[in-house]
Structure 1
């Protein structure tokens, strides 16, 4: 008992020493995450104030003149050639019962390394009359098609999707689509006044509403018929005589006539609209405009004509860009022609079996599926006399340039 007091004193001294050591050591250790927040919020105040006085706040605008980040060509290609082709989402519309078309699209997309979300098509007779614009007087099949596309726009607006590429289930494309889209993106950037090397929210430029890449006829906007992005010597361009099944087309005489005429020229331009919706891209602001003008006000047209009217009518400020010839076509399998369309073009009983083909394409993915399955790297065209078998790199090697035409060289409006 005589040594108890000194022992307690020793313990106290040792404890004080240990505590002092831990406090000293703690001044050098990294703070825990919750402590880090406190330190940063307090210590950073003078720095933040100094920075705010030294420079203006960061700007989020995407106008060309405000851009400081530049995109090298290789980066543009990388952004366009990903699994969603440079868009936030890809949607494929298909009636639930058309598993045959869904099978074909899945295989095409797999070999093209495209990722997509399937969206149910709509049977027109299931759309309640109360859900239609009060002026709608279209057939059941047309109503179903209209509603299916509007459902995509509604989903985009609700989920805040910035851009989406929309396919219908019978869409087809050349095996070199990703290479083609790089040149189209350069053209779209020019048409939307986005500097070629400027960073934009979309690799296709800013301030566009619709990119009509899969139409069956299109027109040049008369107010902007001097500015074109021109892609010559393009093996994916159909010969002129094969384009007659389109509803209408731009005048190509400036590029195809004369001693240096090139029938393999594709152009990209500010569009007055198009016909058919095999494929197109639409932006968030474009989806909002389309929902309003095609559903919420008096309306009575097929969906493609409604979109074309948006492109044409200046008051809607709906910016559309089209390529001619188109980049996405339509697959027609070897079968009874009644299988080809769910909109319908006459009684099914009057249809006959016809050989399969892909409209508006030269090296179609659908027709080359056997080559993909066998691991081949050389692909066949639908026009072997003028487009021999080639690799994807060779097929998609065309490079475009900007042209601003003088008044005397302006093509006639289609």
Structure 2
């Protein structure tokens, strides 16, 4: 108990010091760093305290006060506003049972998983479901959901502003491909002069300017990331690059699914992207395909395909309602991130063919992701706050290393320097171009 009290006092004192530094900026002479500033111009909403979403939720178990304190401090030095959600344990998580799938073998497999899954997996599943329910109940236009063992670059706000431009570009191009789809996506007419007329290729360089004004109604987009997206998967530990367009499964333009798109928006010469040798999520993973597919320091935004680990994802109000329906209908048949992966990749649409009409008429999803991810899992030597409550990536051997895959100027690695008010050039780059790989 005494140890907890001392930890709380230290964290509160640190938060107070950061608050004073933020608003007074005295002593160091460095001024307020660019990564904690807000921006009200253009698409600067992506740089506000909630990164352009209405809320940023952090899922946290009451027993993991160490993680809550770590995230709270990281949020303060990043000028981010977090709302903590009480995570569920496997013992107190009430999960929906799988509905009949029409196949005895599949029914048995789903039931076996729901009974044999770890308590951590059950608790995580119920916690993420609770986060979606909060988005719907609070009538939020959108929210970002974070797990409590993540890390990000001190330049996250600038990264999110660039991602917002890429997201709007992807959405606009996809609408151009479907001219009869109506007001599905935004900024179409305004962006035409900024991108190639021929969009038959599957990779487009990010234009220098992507307007926020809707091309049809002339109204401002509700989100800096564009309109009518469902999921923005910002933090993961691996994803596939879409390599070929698959035949669209939807028969009407209004039910377009991102799973049928191979479009990729490329962001070249991004200095926040590590060198190719660093693009590996854990010790036993292969290098990401991105390492060989594009020049060094290229970031790519595309439809979610094969993502694993639900470290950070944004959900719109519409997306939260769609996902709640799907998760409730299917029940607890796999880990949360794997089910979300299948929903976004369109795998469940294939499986639902031939089933009851209610399952066949599910609304399609528009899910975007980014590689390398903007938010990643933080590993600490010996475990500590980084020990997974579900199961560790890399078979647990990653505990022998300290660092955050994909993140160069890590907030967690630079906490002391950020608290001291150091400028960017004095922060530690944990993945330097000419340094050793993390693993």
Give the TM bin, normalised by the shorter chain.
0.5 to 0.7
In the alignment, which residue of structure 1 is the partner of 2:257? none
Offset of residue 335 of structure 1 = 3.6
**Per the alignment, do residues 382 and 251 of structure 1 end up closer, same or farther by CA in structure 2, a change over 3 Å counting?**
closer
In the alignment, which residue of structure 1 is the partner of 2:120? 141
In the alignment, which residue of structure 2 is the partner of 1:371? 417
2:118 and 2:298 map into 1 onto residues whose CA distance is: 38
1:344 aligned onto 2:391: yes
**Per the alignment, do residues 326 and 336 of structure 1 end up closer, same or farther by CA in structure 2, a change over 3 Å counting?**
closer
Specify which of 163, 172, 182 is matched with residue 142 of structure 2: 163
Q: In terms of Rg, which structure is larger?
A: 1
Gaps of 5+ in 1: 1-72, 257-262, 388-414
Which TM-score applies when normalising by structure 1?
A: 0.68
Specify which of 128, 133, 137 is matched with residue 154 of structure 1: 133
1:357 aligned onto 2:403: yes
In the alignment, which residue of structure 2 is the partner of 1:238? 274
Secondary structure at 1:332's aligned position in 2?
coil
In the alignment, which residue of structure 2 is the partner of 1:255? 294
Offset of residue 282 of structure 1 = 0.7
1:381 aligned onto 2:429: yes
1:152 and 1:352 map into 2 onto residues whose CA distance is: 28
2:57 and 2:129 map into 1 onto residues whose CA distance is: 12
1:149 and 1:278 map into 2 onto residues whose CA distance is: 11
Secondary structure at 1:219's aligned position in 2?
coil
* Contact 1:337 1:351 (C-alpha < 8 Å) held by counterparts: no
1:251 and 1:373 map into 2 onto residues whose CA distance is: 34
Large movers: runs of 4+ above 6 Å? 350-353
2:398 and 2:228 map into 1 onto residues whose CA distance is: 46
Secondary structure at 1:180's aligned position in 2?
helix
**Per the alignment, do residues 338 and 363 of structure 1 end up closer, same or farther by CA in structure 2, a change over 3 Å counting?**
closer
In the alignment, which residue of structure 1 is the partner of 2:317? 284
Specify which of 303, 312, 316 is matched with residue 336 of structure 2: 303
Specify which of 57, 75, 78 is matched with residue 44 of structure 2: 78
Secondary structure at 2:232's aligned position in 1?
strand
Offset of residue 145 of structure 1 = 0.5
Offset of residue 355 of structure 1 = 4.8
CA distances 1:302-345 after superposition (whole Å, capped 9, x unpaired): 00111111111156411111111111011123344685211134
In the alignment, which residue of structure 2 is the partner of 1:111? 77
Offset of residue 252 of structure 1 = 5.4
Which TM-score applies when normalising by structure 2?
A: 0.64
* Contact 1:234 1:265 (C-alpha < 8 Å) held by counterparts: yes
In the alignment, which residue of structure 1 is the partner of 2:378? 331
Offset of residue 96 of structure 1 = 0.6
Secondary structure at 1:371's aligned position in 2?
helix
* Contact 1:337 1:354 (C-alpha < 8 Å) held by counterparts: no
In the alignment, which residue of structure 1 is the partner of 2:304? 271
1:359 and 1:230 map into 2 onto residues whose CA distance is: 20
| RMSD, aligned CA | 2.7
* Count of residue correspondences: 306
**Per the alignment, do residues 250 and 211 of structure 1 end up closer, same or farther by CA in structure 2, a change over 3 Å counting?**
farther
2:131 and 2:399 map into 1 onto residues whose CA distance is: 33
CA distances 1:239-258 after superposition (whole Å, capped 9, x unpaired): 222223366844554522xx
Secondary structure at 1:126's aligned position in 2?
coil
2:134 and 2:50 map into 1 onto residues whose CA distance is: 17
* Contact 2:230 2:367 (C-alpha < 8 Å) held by counterparts: yes
Secondary structure at 1:211's aligned position in 2?
strand
Gaps of 5+ in 2: 1-38, 100-110, 173-185, 188-209, 214-219, 246-259, 350-361
* Contact 2:234 2:375 (C-alpha < 8 Å) held by counterparts: yes
Offset of residue 125 of structure 1 = 2.0
1:208 aligned onto 2:213: no
**Per the alignment, do residues 143 and 77 of structure 1 end up closer, same or farther by CA in structure 2, a change over 3 Å counting?**
same
Secondary structure at 2:51's aligned position in 1?
coil
User: Which has the larger share of strand?
Assistant: 1
1:89-100 correspondence runs (5 A):
89-100=55-66
Offset of residue 384 of structure 1 = 3.6
Specify which of 270, 288, 293 is matched with residue 326 of structure 2: 293
